[in-house]
C-alpha cells in the first residue's frame, strides 16, 4: 500500500511524503502507482521549477518527500491543495492501495 502523509503547520500544508507501493498491478501496468507518481512529480516540479521555492525534495525507490517552510508553503498552497484533493479522491476509489493521512509539524 502507498501511504501519503501531508505535513501541516497551523492548518497550512507545508509538505508531503509518499512511501510504499500501491500493489494494484504488476510494475509497468499499475495505474494507481502511475497516477500517484505523476501527481507527485508534477507537484514537486511546479513548486521548485515554476514557483522557484527552495523546497527540500528527496526521492528514492518507493519514496518521495517534499518539505518547505510555512512561509514558502503559502506560495504553494494551491498546488498542494490540488495534490491533496487528487490523492484523497484516489484513496477513496482504491482504498486497499493508497492511504492519506495528516501530521502536524
Residues 54-92: pLDDT tens digits?
Answer: 999 999 999 999 999 999 999 999 999 999 999 999 999
Tell me if 66 sits within 8 A of 47, measured CB to CB.
yes
Quote the CA–CA distance of 1 and 56 in Å, as a whole number.
24
| pTM, 2 dp | 0.94
Structural domain tally of the chain?
A: 1
The pLDDT, as a whole number, for residue 37 is 96
- Cell numbers at 9, concatenated: 503547520
Cell numbers describing residue 39:
501527481
Nearest C-alpha neighbor of 100 from the set 90, 85, 88, 86: 88
Note whether 39 and 98 are within 8 A (CB): no
What does the pLDDT look like over 2-46, one tens digit per residue?
999 999 999 999 999 999 999 999 988 999 999 999 999 999 999
Report the CATH number at residue 66.
3.30.70.1490
> What is the extent of the structural domain holding 35?
2-104
Amino acid at each position: 500500500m502507498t501511504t501519503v502523509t501531508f505535513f501541516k503547520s497551523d492548518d497550512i500544508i507545508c509538505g508531503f511524503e509518499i512511501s510504499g507501493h500501491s500493489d494494484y498491478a504488476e510494475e509497468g501496468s499499475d495505474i494507481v502507482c502511475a497516477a500517484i507518481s505523476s501527481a507527485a512529480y508534477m507537484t514537486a516540479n511546479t513548486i521548485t521549477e515554476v514557483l522557484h521555492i527552495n523546497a527540500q525534495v528527496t526521492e528514492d525507490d518507493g519514496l518521495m518527500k517534499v518539505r518547505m517552510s510555512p512561509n514558502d508553503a503559502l506560495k504553494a498552497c494551491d498546488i498542494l491543495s490540488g495534490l491533496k484533493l487528487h490523492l484523497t479522491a484516489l484513496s477513496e476509489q482504491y482504498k486497499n492501495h493508497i492511504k492519506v493521512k495528516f501530521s502536524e509539524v
